[in-house]
Amino acid sequence: MSLENVTVRLSDQGKDQLIRLKRITGIKNWNVLCRWALCMSLADQSPPLVREVQTNSNVEMSWRTFAGSAGNEYTSLLEERMTSTNEGFPDIYALFLAHLHRGIGQLAGTLDNRSGIDGLIDLAMRTEH
């Protein structure tokens, strides 16, 4: 399944967490925060929870809006993850949604009201071995 023609939809919980993250960081666009979230989750080597994500919010965007000019790179990262680990997802879109929502939750759980954009940058600069 190609991600090129999908519509990315978020859960109500994901939407609420993104609203809070927009306020904390000052980042105004959903897609930018979603990119950070996807990368944060993919950097975590543990598999995300295998479950059907209830994409019941009114937040949606095209894959092109989500990924911007890096669509091929995000797709390659997800394809690599899909083939290198057996995480139990039926297709790449289900894997993408699981990582996206896990990443949103990780960002929301890590950043507090005082973090701002600096907290997000500090988080990105951390390296764990």
pLDDT digits 0-9 by tens, 21-60: 999 888 999 999 999 999 999 998 898 887 778 888 999 9
Residue 61 domain boundaries = 7-125
Domain tally for the chain? 1
The CATH number covering residue 45 comes to 1.10.1220.160
Residue 89 covered by a domain: yes
Output 75 or 109, whichever has higher pLDDT.
Answer: 75
Structure tokens belonging to residue 5: 């023609």
C-alpha span between 74 and 71 (Å, rounded) = 5
Q: What is the mean pLDDT of residues 98-104?
A: 95
Question: What's the predicted TM-score (pTM) here?
Answer: 0.87
Tokens for 81, please give them: 């993850």
Instruction: For residue 107, tell me if it sits in a domain.
Output: yes
In sequence order, which ranges of 1-129 are alpha helices (DSSP H)? 12-25, 30-43, 63-67, 71-84, 92-110, 116-125
1 is a domain residue: no
Identify whether 86 is part of a domain: yes
Q: How far is CA 22 from CA 32, 63, 65, 93, in A?
A: 10, 20, 17, 25
